[in-house]
Structures are given as C-alpha cells and as structure tokens.
Amino acid sequence: MRQRLRDPMTGLLFVLPMLVLFLVFRFVPILGAGGMSLTDLNLGGEWNFVGVGNYARLLDDPKFWDSLRITLVYVAIYVPLTVLVALGTALLLNAVVFLRGLFRGMLFLPYVTSFVLAGVIWRWIYEFDGMINGLLGKLDLGPVGFLEEASLVLPALAVVSVWKGFGYSMLILLAGLKAIPASYLEAATVDGAGPWQRFRRITLPLLKPALFFVVVIETINAFQTFDTIYVMTGGGPARASYTLIYGLYDQGFKFSNLGYAATIGVVLFALVFVVSLIQRRLLDRGNA
C-alpha cells in the first residue's frame, strides 16, 4: 500500500509547482472575473453588488450582438484559412529534403514577431500608397481600401493574423506527418494509389488528431484576437472590426466599467468553452 501511494505522490510533487501556477494565474482569475461580473466595479475601486444586472444589460445591448456577429465572422474566416495554410506548408516541408531546417525556421519566423510590429508593417502594405495598391495600380485595377471598407476589413485582418500565427500550427501538423509510418504510404504506392489518394485515404485520417488540435487552438486564438485590430483599425471602419475582445477593452479601460467588462469576458469564456467541447466531441467521433 505504501508503494502504491508513494509513486503517485512522487509524481504529484513534480507537477505541483506548475499546478500551483495554473491555479493562481488561470483558475483564480476566472473565479475573480465571475465575481466581478456581478458588480458595477470601476477603476476607482468603488463597487456595488448588482447580481445578474450586467448580464441583463448585455442581452439588451445591440452593440454586444453586433460585436458577437463580427467575432463569429472573423473566426469563420481566420480558422479555415490558417488551417489550410499551415497544412499546405507542413506538407511541403515534409516533402523537402534539402535545407528543411532553414525553410522551417523562415516560415516560423513571423510567429515570434511582435503583433504590434506586424500590424504596423501590414498597415503600411494595405495603405492606398502601399505595396499592394501599388501593384494593383500598375494593373489598372485602382486603389482598394482594405482597411477603409467594411466588407474588406475582416478578411484583411484575418490575412495578417494568418501570416503571423500559422507557424505554430505548421509545426504541430509537421510533427503529425512525421509520426505517420512511411510503410503505409509505400504500400499504397505499390498498390497504385496516386498522391491525392494517399493523402485522402492515409495521411488525412492519421493526421486527424493533430488537425483537430490545431483547429481548437486556432479557434481560441481567433476569439481572443485584439492586438492586430487595435493597431490596424481601432475597431473601425464604422465598427466593422469591433470584436468582443475590443468591446471588453473599451468597457474596462476606456469607460471604466470593469464589472460590465468582466461580464463580456465571462460570456466570451463560456462561448469558447462550448465551441471547444463541440470540437472535442467531433475529435472523439473522428477517432471512433
């Protein structure tokens, strides 16, 4: 009995520091945000208990529903685009033999670049006298207001975020590709399967766990996007890029409504949690 208890206790001691950090910096703030959402706390430290008043106010707030719609549209654009780019680059890197490490480092470099720096660079690229409009002008297609037109701003922001963040997902998918036994692909080749058949029948099914992990991580990142929007558009034009996170920032630090901002954060947390559970269920179904 002592031996049975000794091994789990030893393992627990090893993970205890990280467990404490997780509880202090992740779990406790979640509980704190939930408590704040039940008050009208402001930056001055004054507060009163309002119960579910903030949630009732949120449900009646048309700006909240607009920002939720914008957030969902952004997620619908960003996640598939990121997964496709990450999967495509991972497949290319998996096929490369010469200088693979160099190419992998070059493709991963944008991921370690500051979001603020990336936003400043891409804002210049998107400007009317920027690089893209310069090329369009030579083709007589005229300047395009990528960040000035409501119909283009979300795709333009999604492209920046994809360029900035696909490197991490690329490495995850590349590791998944390396875990696929080469004998499976060789046997399929001997049986006469072409590249598309090998990808569809062997590579994609075996890559599904890594692929769904990437989808979940990138979905969470999409819901939390703030830096790029703050630097490039400030929620504009005409609130066309005003997401839930940007609304949370405005309520908390611009209007000093920390309680209401915490309410938005709790709703966003619940939304991401539900979406993650749905994706997890799809993952389990795919592995069944």
User: pLDDT 10s digit of each residue in the chain, 288 long?
Assistant: 566 666 777 778 888 888 898 888 888 888 889 999 999 988 788 889 999 999 999 999 999 999 999 999 999 999 999 999 999 999 999 888 777 788 888 999 999 888 888 888 999 999 988 888 888 888 888 788 899 999 999 999 999 999 999 999 999 999 999 998 888 888 888 888 888 888 888 898 899 889 988 999 999 999 999 988 999 999 989 899 999 999 999 999 899 899 999 999 999 999 999 998 888 787 666 555
Task: Please give the pLDDT value at position 1.
Answer: 59
Task: Please give the pLDDT value at position 69.
Answer: 96
Q: Provide the β-strand partners of residue 39.
A: 49
Task: Please give the pLDDT value at position 134.
Answer: 87
Spatial distance between the Cα atoms of 166 and 90, rounded to a whole number of angstroms: 10
Q: Is 11 exposed, middle or buried (0-12, 13-18, 19+ CB in 10 A)?
A: exposed
CATH architecture of 68-287: Orthogonal Bundle (1.10)
pTM over 0.85: yes
The closest of 237, 220, 257, 247 to 68, measured between CA atoms, is 247
Task: Please give the pLDDT value at position 68.
Answer: 95
Torsion, CA 257, CA 39, CA 277, CA 72, rounded to 10: -30
Annotate 53-115 with DSSP letters as a single string.
Answer: HHHHHHHT-HHHHHHHHHHHHHHHHHHHHHHHHHHHHHHHHHH--TTHHHHHHHHHGGGGS-H
User: Do the Cβ atoms of 265 and 209 come closer than 8 Å?
Assistant: no
The closest of 219, 220, 215 to 286, measured between CA atoms, is 215
